[in-house]
Chains A and B, each alone.
Chain A
Amino acid sequence: MNWRAVRAVAAKDLLEVRKNRMATWSILGLSVFFSVGMPLLIGLLPFAAGPSGGDLGPFEQLTRLLPPGQQDLPIGSRMVVLMLGYFLAPLFLIIPLMVSSIVGAESFVGEKERGTLEGLLFLPATDLELYAGKVLAGFVPAVAAAFLNFALYAVMVNLVSAPIVGGAWFPTVPALALAAWVGPAVALLGVSASVLVSTRVETVLEANQVSGLLSLVIVALMVGQGSGLLMLSLPVLFLIGLAIYGVDVLLVRFGAAVFSRDRLMARA
């Protein structure tokens, strides 16, 4: 494997993404919405204001799941911790998923639309190197965006909630595990799926639609199953990550196996 060629292809794509307004603004918007908007919103909800908070019914029960240290907080503060630290945090996985799909969807069909695909295929890289470069091009910014956003989210959560909780408390250990272990797995999922799509469609629009749809399905699964995710034990989180990596390996291997220069060229 000629890693210099792989890295060059990835770096070139990254440079292009940085100069692509549509892509950068989508990514920026998503980040601001998730990492700044959501913590602010939750922090400003009425129950966060006072210690009494009124009757929160069944949610009162849920806050019993919080770690012992946070059980003594007033009910309003407990709700904020529950929402920011446990319910919303898993949604953070949307970021690596979306960033990797946005970049991955462009990978081949984007070059085709802009008339550079033929030149790409005439490069001395092997089929595998080209494919690896494109996967890397989506994976790296997705993981970087995820980590940056996680840090930003942590700062915002603490800013919003420290006064009512009595100090900085986020990230929790499960949240860290989610970001460090599951986040990259999801990034790889997004990029391997969207690169595959990108070799098989005719326009960038189609690629975005198909990989957007795929992401939506995964997001729906996450919202359904994910809200309680951080209540799970670390070993279970580890297994979930492992399962996603398993799917990644299959997808990447499949993508590499069916990737063919001849096929791409013949369709161009």
Chain B
Amino acid sequence: MATAIAADGLSRSFGTVRAVDGVSFEVPAGEVFGLLGPNGAGKTTLIRLLAGVLLPGAGSARVLGLDPWTDGPGVRRRCGVLTETPAVYGRLTARQNLGFAAEVFGVPLPEVACRVNDLLARFSLADRADEPVGGFSKGMKQRLALARALVHDPELLFLDEPTAGLDPAASRQVHEMVGGLREEGRTVVLCTHRLVEAEALCDRVGVLAKGRLVALGTVRELSERLLADSPVALSFLDPVSDAVAGEVGAVPGVTVEERGERHLLLAAPDDEALAAAVGAAVGAGGRVVAAGRREHTLEDVYFALQEAAA
């Protein structure tokens, strides 16, 4: 599969602040890639570097096969960018905003009106198309900004915190749109500090901390590499008796980490041990209703990484 983005040792400082510090990674075409990190981690700066809007202090990159610093316009012509604050002109109407972008991005003249109308309809803005955008809600502005980012049918999208400040309904709309972009085969780089969002939408994530890329991979890979085995929960119909807890704890390799009213939280090295633990519980008269591993969330990974980086 073709490579959409390849960054090699990218760095950029502002004064003494190393905003992006030796970042290397690749994103294959068609992937939804998450850039995670708290505020100030360097996510926005990294996007600006990749789009040739900022120059790097060191390192190199290829974006869609082009060098962003010698052919910035070429890269940007094939990228759509959703900036952190939606870059829409409040004094202009939604239609005028999209028309402007279509012109600058070189959408063929005969197609402009049609493309703009399609986007207005697709992003549910058609009935307010000729009103000044200044009066739109935050969610509507965000939809318009997303429509604007798509006006030239880009192969690659940079979405910088697309749900920041949106209410849950508007956030969900954005999530559905990102899902749509994936189905259309576009490459998406999604910056976020919302872990649930990254977990739901991204194929792989890169975690930034203080400008450095501290982890890269799928959420599962990261949790396997970084965290101890995830705990197993055994749930019972009745309150857990001492006999049940004792028998389960006696299974080789299994330790009871937490004893609740009707559940036990266990550390079990593998599924073999888990099955033995369930057998022991049943043997001791426990009526087991559920047994399963609790998967690590991205949140667990994230805090482990941030702690390591601190």
Contacts and interface: CB of A to CB of B under 8 A. Distances in A.
A55 interface: no
B85 interface: yes
Nearest to B160: A118
Interface stretch (B27-35, B49-57, B116-124, B180-188): B49-57
Given A123-B76, A124-B105, A8 B100 contact: yes
Interface in B78-112: 79, 81, 83-92, 96, 100-101, 103-106
Contacts of A118: 53, 83-85, 87
A29 interface: no
Nearest to A17: B91
B175 interface: no
A158 to B, nearest CB: 38
A12 B102 CA distance: 12
B119 to A, nearest CB: 16
B67 to A, nearest CB: 15
A5 B104 contact: yes
A125 B51 contact: no
Contacts of A7: 103
A266 B148 CA distance: 24
B96 A5 contact: no
A122 B48 CA distance: 8
Nearest to B148: A119
Given A119-B81, A124-B76, A9 B53 contact: no
B211 to A, nearest CB: 15
A119 B104 contact: no
A20 B148 CA distance: 23
A261 B48 CA distance: 11
Contact of A4 (B48, B92, B103): B103
A265 B48 contact: yes
A114 B90 contact: yes
Given A9-B104, A15-B96, A119-B83, A124 B90 contact: no
B14 interface: yes
Contacts of A4: 103-104, 106
Q: Is the interface of A mostly helix, strand, loop or mixed?
A: helix
A11 B55 CA distance: 29
A116 B103 contact: no
B73 interface: yes
B53 A5 contact: no
Contacts of A119: 81, 83, 87-88, 145, 148
B85 A16 contact: no
Contacts of A124: 73-74, 76-77, 104-106
Interface string A41-85: 000000000000000000000000000000000000000000000
B124 to A, nearest CB: 21
B91 A16 contact: yes
A119 B89 CA distance: 10
Given A9-B104, A116-B88, A265 B54 contact: yes
B279 interface: no
A38 to B, nearest CB: 32
B92 A5 contact: no
A123 B104 contact: yes
Given A122-B83, A124-B76, A8 B104 contact: yes
Of the listed residues B51, B79, B84, B100, the one surrounded by the most CB atoms of chain A closer than 10 A to its CB is B100
28 contacts: A5-B103, A5-B106, A7-B103, A8-B100, A8-B103, A12-B100, A15-B92, A114-B90, A115-B85, A115-B86, A115-B87, A116-B88, A118-B83, A118-B84, A118-B85, A119-B81, A119-B87, A119-B145, A119-B148, A122-B53, A122-B76, A123-B76, A124-B73, A124-B77, A124-B106, A126-B73, A265-B48, A265-B54
A4 B106 CA distance: 8
B139 interface: no
B38 interface: no
Q: 6 smallest A-B Cβ distances: which pairs?
A: A119-B87, A8-B103, A124-B77, A19-B91, A124-B76, A115-B85
Contacts of B103: 4-5, 7-8, 11
A116 B73 contact: no
Contacts of B22: none
Contacts of A266: 14, 54
Contacts of A123: 76, 101, 104-105
Interface in A114-160: 114-116, 118-126
